[in-house]
Amino acid sequence: MQFPGNDPSVLVSALALATKHLGFVVTSSILQAHPFEFARRMSTLDHLTKGRVGWNIVTSYLETAASNMGIQTLPEHDLRYDMAEDYLEVAYKLWEASWGDDAVVADVAANMLFNPALVRPIDHEGPYYRSSGPHMSQPSPQRTPVLYQAGGSPRGKRFAGKHAEVSFLGAMTPEMASQEVADLAARAADAGRAASDLLSLVLISPIIGSTEEEAWRKQRELREWADYDAIMCFLAVYKPVLSELDPDKTLEQILPEAASRLDAEWLGLLSGVPDKSIRYRDFVIDSFLPAGRHAGTPEQIADIVQSWAETGASGFNVVPVQTLGWVDEWVEHVVPVLQKRGLLQTEYSEGSLRHKLFDSGPRLPETHMARNMKIPAASSDLMGSAS
């Protein structure tokens, strides 16, 4: 399912040479690397891609993820978000505050690459991470990579409102998407940010056919490969109670029991399904196999995209149904219809990934907390003088 897999950050450095406009978003957990090392890696990628890199922030949910990193027990859910807050503070200080805006002088005559008085340690001592700094990389085009996040829990959504620039929605219906978009806007406002500072992406994985009949035939074939027990093996690793519910009961029958056993995120998904007469088994397969929700001709898929666009979502996280051939079908048959309707751009703008998304400069907006990150006054510059 998620194994085996290569390191995406290494692939980005190669793909950057072969592309001009694509953005590259690396998923990396706060458990994977110390923020000092990770900040350097992302700055390097931002330099190599000329500002086209983003970071999908995750906090991990598997015990094996913790044990692989030498952590005996996976920290509790909300504690992991507390750790992420501290992790980001280290990264923000390195990316945004360690090097002054005029630190790089590149003065050949003066034999000076940078002004050491404008490069400072960060001397961070938080509850979970420590780092003296300074940042090992000179400022990259964006400094901070574009920040993505997909947390669906109340704590995760609060984290998104404070930090994320792009949030992945878990909504299964347009109505649920509208509610999630409004909720994210409110959480961004709580953090002193504008609603336009936080984009939202809806997952769509359509099955495309030259006729509606062909599309649904493909859907049935794909669904035959979906194994409820295999899906449950995956889900039960981090949410064992999901496998304890009767797969052959309807959602209407399941909900009373689920209300006392499931967390708000999963209970919300169950409660938000319009048709409560479907079996729990089918709900699980449809949730895990989003391709089962959307099938049709290119025009019909465009209709679906348009209905979701009207929810206020900023865009789509388009997931291929299968590896071979699907992308060609999407690009050759659906993209032209979306462009004709004005739902998709016909050309790329120049500049960084952040500029392409927000039509702004490469830096985080002033309203983002990272832009106001302060280094302790006791810190000194590279020459040893107190600041």
pLDDT in tens, 99-139: 999 999 999 999 999 999 999 999 999 999 999 999 999 99
Q: Which of 60-74, 220-234, 285-299, 318-332 has the lowest mean pLDDT?
A: 285-299
342 confidence band (pLDDT: 50, 70, 90): very high
Q: Which of 187-196, 243-252, 284-293 has the lowest mean pLDDT?
A: 284-293
Contacts of 105 (CB under 8 A, 6+ apart): 112, 113, 114, 115
Contacts of 311 (CB under 8 A, 6+ apart): 171, 174, 175, 177, 178, 181, 202
Kindly state the DSSP code that residue 179 receives in the 8-state scheme.
H
* Alpha helices, H only, the chain: 8-18, 35-48, 63-68, 77-92, 154-163, 174-190, 212-224, 228-235, 251-258, 264-271, 280-288, 298-309, 326-329, 335-340, 353-358
Q: Locate 263 and state its tokens.
A: 């967390």
What residues pair up with 146 in beta bridges, in sequence order? 54
Mean pLDDT of the chain: 90
What percent of the chain stands above pLDDT 70?
A: 95
Q: Indicate the length of the chain as a whole number.
A: 387
pLDDT at 59 over 90: yes
Burial 162-177 (b: 16+ CB within 10 A, else e): bbbbbbbbbbbebebb
List, for residues 294-325, the tens digit of each pLDDT value.
899 999 999 999 999 999 999 999 988 777 78
> End-to-end alpha-carbon separation of the chain, Å?
51
More confident residue, 48 or 242: 48
pLDDT at 86: 98
What's the rounded Cα separation, in Å, for the pair 269 and 289?
15
Question: Region 287-297: what's the mean pLDDT?
Answer: 75
Q: DSSP letters along 37-84, please?
A: HHHHHHHHHHHHTTS-EEEEEE----HHHHHHTT-SSPPPHHHHHHHH
Maximum mean pLDDT: which of 54-63, 83-92, 238-247, 255-264: 83-92
pLDDT at 387: 46
Question: Region 76-89: what's the mean pLDDT?
Answer: 97
Respond yes or no on whether the N-terminal peptide bond of residue 4 is cis (omega within 30° of 0). yes
326 confidence band (pLDDT: 50, 70, 90): confident
- For 311, other C-beta atoms within 10 Å of its C-beta total 20
379 confidence band (pLDDT: 50, 70, 90): low
What percent of the chain stands above pLDDT 90?
A: 67
pLDDT at 1: 56
Q: Contact 111/385 with Cβ under 8 angstroms?
A: no
Burial group, residue 70, by CB count within 10 angstroms (0-12, 13-18, 19+): exposed
pLDDT at 65: 83
List, for residues 347-359, the tens digit of each pLDDT value.
999 999 999 999 9
List, for residues 203-259, the tens digit of each pLDDT value.
888 999 999 999 999 888 888 888 899 888 878 776 788 888 999 999 999 898 888
pLDDT at 269: 77
Q: Contact 198/181 with Cβ under 8 angstroms?
A: no
CATH class of 8-165+364-372: alpha beta
Domain borders along the chain are 8-165+364-372
More confident residue, 5 or 350: 350
pLDDT at 219: 86
pLDDT at 186 over 50: yes
